Amino acid sequence: MDAAPYPTQTPLIDPFARRITYLRVSVTDRCDFRCVYCMSEHMTFLPKRELLTLEELDRLCSAFVGLGVKKLRLTGGEPLVRRNLMSLIRSLGRHLESGALEELTLTTNGSQLAAHAADLYAAGVRRINVSLDTLDPQKFKAVTRWGDLDQVLRGVDAAQAAGLKIKINTVALKDVNEGEIPAIAEWAHGRGMDLSLIETMPLGDIEGDRTDQYLPLSLVRARLASRWTLNDIPYRTGGPARYVSVAETGGRIGFITPLTHNFCESCNRVRVTCTGTLYMCLGQEDAADLRKPLRASEGDEALVGAIREAITRKPKGHDFVIDRRAAKPALARHMSTTGG
């Protein structure tokens, strides 16, 4: 994984004139948590032979960088449970050094951060997202099923000590953490961390009814606005969040609203699963197999051709909806398979 930087080619432009500059890659469908809105407690994970190797992931990411991707986010599952993942991150760091890639980052549940934070910073990672839905230890155990809040908080401490900038991602869950959101914001802002609030997404069978979990962020924002002074700001990180500044805390809160207010018109993102399936839209089933061209040749001509063809099919937007007539997800695949 020490090949020369990938040559720059004509950038990726979708049918709606949106330039694709942001790639999210799932490196594993496995996770050491079983969050109630994301997974069934008794998951069946993919056979390891179906997953892209670290070398294949490097080739794939590098091909996208050559096609104009400027931001690369590694996800899972939980990316840091993937064996030897740091070797991939260190290798991808060469694109930061060359200037071809502007940011290499990851989304994590924080469970493995204490062990890897310093190495992430050394590899060129400067900013990470940590998924954290509650600061109550018992509630945390209930939401994650297997998680340990203290372990995650130690990971946050280690990441900040290593120099990593952190954004906290919190899924808004009705009757679970809705009353705790102001406290989470105060905690995050008090440590210099932004907070993004996310509506639960109808992906995958979770052994429950998402209509019971769904909490519209329009309601959350109205409640926060009755408590604090919220000012809309143009701040962006390349993702879908719309940010406000909070006068009383001095921090920022982002709202990711795929259901109450989608963000499709400015979408610059595509996702690749750990098996090499490219989804042009998180909320649509249309996909392209990149594993086949990856494994068909040591050269990347077929891979690049498959990527370009797929981008011509990128839709204008998604079809997410919480189906209140039937307790079923909009899409059968799990978020952990697609990449969180």
- Tell me if 267 is assigned to a ligand binding site: yes
Count CB-CB contacts under 10 A for residue 275: 17
* Residue 4 is assigned to a structural domain of this protein: no
- Tell me if 325 is assigned to a ligand binding site: no
- Tell me if 77 is assigned to a ligand binding site: yes
DSSP string, 35-57: -TTT--SS--PPPGGGSPPHHHH
- Tell me if 174 is assigned to a ligand binding site: no
* Residue 13 is assigned to a structural domain of this protein: no
For residues 132 and 110, is the Cβ–Cβ distance under 8 A? yes
* Residue 6 is assigned to a structural domain of this protein: no
- Tell me if 37 is assigned to a ligand binding site: yes
* Residue 16 is assigned to a structural domain of this protein: no
CA distance 152 to 271: 26
| pLDDT tens-digit readout, 267-324 | 888 999 999 999 988 767 789 999 999 999 999 999 999 999 999 998 877 554 444 4
Contacts of 190 (CB under 8 A, 6+ apart): 249
Backbone angles phi, psi at 182, to 5 degrees: -60, -40
* Residue 2 is assigned to a structural domain of this protein: no
Q: Which residues of 246-264 are buried (b: 16+ CB within 10 A; e: fewer)?
A: beebebbbbbbbbbeeebb
From residue 62, give the alpha-carbon distance in Å to each of 66, 95, 251: 6, 8, 35
The candidate with the shortest Cα–Cα distance to 69, out of 292, 276, 311, is: 311
* Residue 142 is assigned to a structural domain of this protein: yes
The candidate with the shortest Cα–Cα distance to 311, out of 274, 264, 270, is: 270
- Tell me if 131 is assigned to a ligand binding site: yes
| pLDDT tens-digit readout, 125-159 | 999 999 999 999 999 999 998 899 999 999 999 99
| pLDDT tens-digit readout, 4-13 | 445 558 999 9
- Tell me if 269 is assigned to a ligand binding site: yes
Work out the angle at residue 254's Cα, subtended by the Cα atoms of residues 317 and 93, and round it to the nearest 5 degrees: 80
Q: Total structural domains in the chain?
A: 1
| pLDDT tens-digit readout, 72-119 | 999 999 999 999 999 999 999 999 999 999 999 999 999 999 999 999
* Residue 145 is assigned to a structural domain of this protein: yes
- Tell me if 61 is assigned to a ligand binding site: no
Q: By residue range, what is the domain housing residue 216?
A: 22-338
Backbone angles phi, psi at 307, to 5 degrees: -65, -50
Q: Which residue has the higher pLDDT, 236 or 300?
A: 300
- Tell me if 295 is assigned to a ligand binding site: no
CATH number, domain at 83?
A: 3.20.20.70
| pLDDT tens-digit readout, 211-230 | 577 899 999 999 999 999 99
* Residue 7 is assigned to a structural domain of this protein: no
Element at 277 (helix H, strand E): strand 277-279
- Tell me if 201 is assigned to a ligand binding site: yes
The average confidence (pLDDT) of the chain is 87
Encoded amino acid at 264, one letter: C
